[in-house]
Amino acid sequence: MELVYKEESYQIIGKCMEVHKELGHGFAEIVYKDALELLFGLDKIYFEREKEYLVYFRGVLLRHKFYADFVVFDKIILELKCLSMLTEEHTAQTINYLKVSGNKLGLLVNFGRGRLEYKRLVL
């Protein structure tokens, strides 16, 4: 079975590994976002940070919006965490971002441990 956006996701995870290797774990999430933004820019990887998504229910726009940490290559949701452990709630959050965005692939990445942890989520 072929992985969805295989090459693009390898590039993204590779950049996350670079950041984790240099910074380690223990910083606030915002530090890892800033470092990734810098690397994406240097390597000319197209991304949007804190991309806003509207949510509709029965055709009515709801008040609250979703903000994906990054949308990379205009098609991959990248959600960052800095926690001791990922939970089902974090997975569900990323899946919800996929639903409202219409994207197929979400990468949930945790910088909060001694080793980088990530999940590929496909809709």
Residue 109's pLDDT is: 97
Report yes or no on whether pTM surpasses 0.85.
Answer: yes
Return the biggest CA–CA distance within the chain.
46
Residue 2's pLDDT is: 81
Closest CA to 36 of 24, 20, 52: 20
pLDDT, block means (10 residues), the chain with 123 residues: 90 97 94 97 96 93 93 97 93 94 96 93 93
Residue 86's pLDDT is: 92
Burial class (CB in 10 A: 0-12, 13-18, 19+), 24: exposed
Residue 54's pLDDT is: 92
Domains for the chain: give ranges and CATH numbers: 6-122 (3.40.960)
Provide the pairing of β-strand 117-122 with 60-61: unpaired
Cα–Cα–Cα angle for 5, 87, 75, rounded to 5 degrees: 20
DSSP character at residue 26: -
Closest CA to 113 of 25, 32, 21, 22: 25
